[in-house]
Amino acid sequence: MAKNPYGRDYRLVESFSEKGRVKTSYEYIGEPCFFRAGEETARKKAFQCTLLTAAAWICYIGAMFFESAAMHRLYVALPFAFCGVPLTLLTGHMMALRGMREPLERRHMDRMNNKFPPAAMFLTLFALFALAGEGIGLAVSAFSGNAGQLSSGEIVFLAGCIGLVLCGARLFMARTHFVIIRRDA
């Protein structure tokens, strides 16, 4: 059984309710943590990043909406499908970030400092791999003489991949606004 890495940051507190029953709750006793950029700045950036995450979901779902030859190529479809994993993680991070209030706990610091940046980076990388694969597929079809006009599905897929790359890169650049540090209380 895995040990909770944050178990020593809490203590069990027992108290009596109005009806005389024993209530148990946990109280955070670890070091208080704070946003390095300040809570106000983090709130503003959290809203912007939530919109970016929503835009990334629209790009991801929109790229799959139309029939495209890109999704029939494994070297394009596989990295594109993997974009859903970091996108889901980023959605969870954005939802958690919207509820964080200072002073923060060590678990918040671990989440935003160590797990948010890799999720944004992997979203960008997977979308770049899918975009590069689609570019290779289009170049191969052009050199083999099968080049014609791009279908609407191909154009939407390319636009979706480009949108994912831009949203992921922007989320990765915003990571500095969510850095959480320990400070003497």
Average pLDDT rounded to a whole number, residues 40-62: 95
Please name the amino acid found at residue 70.
A
Q: Does 89 map to a domain?
A: yes
Average pLDDT rounded to a whole number, residues 149-157: 85
The 3-state DSSP class for residue 21 equals: coil
Q: Are 133 and 160 in contact (CB under 8 A)?
A: no
Confidence bin at 2 (pLDDT 50/70/90): low
> Can you give the residue range of the structural domain that contains 173?
33-182
Tell which wins on pLDDT, 95 or 7: 95
Q: Does 26 map to a domain?
A: no
Confidence bin at 51 (pLDDT 50/70/90): very high
Average pLDDT rounded to a whole number, residues 97-101: 88
Q: Residue 177 gets which letter from DSSP?
A: G
The CA R_g of the chain, rounded to the nearest whole Å, is: 22
Average pLDDT, the chain: 89
Confidence bin at 61 (pLDDT 50/70/90): very high
Q: Are 22 and 14 in contact (CB under 8 A)?
A: yes
Q: Does 9 map to a domain?
A: no
> Could you give the number of structural domains in the chain?
1
Q: Does 40 map to a domain?
A: yes
pLDDT at position 184 is: 60
Sign for the pseudo-dihedral over CA of 185, 40, 177, 167: positive
Q: What's the pTM?
A: 0.85
Cα–Cα–Cα angle for 48, 117, 110, rounded to 5 degrees: 105
Average pLDDT rounded to a whole number, residues 123-147: 87
Q: Which of 12-16, 56-60, 156-160, 165-169 has the lowest mean pLDDT?
A: 12-16
Q: Does 3 map to a domain?
A: no
Count of other CB atoms within 10 angstroms of residue 11: 11
Cα separation of 37 and 178, whole Å? 7
Confidence bin at 185 (pLDDT 50/70/90): very low
Please name the amino acid found at residue 7.
G
Cα separation of 101 and 28, whole Å? 14
Confidence bin at 143 (pLDDT 50/70/90): confident
Sign for the pseudo-dihedral over CA of 131, 132, 135, 136: negative
The 3-state DSSP class for residue 77 equals: helix
Cα separation of 6 and 4, whole Å? 5
Distance of CA 2 to the CA centre of its chain: 25
Tell which wins on pLDDT, 162 or 12: 162
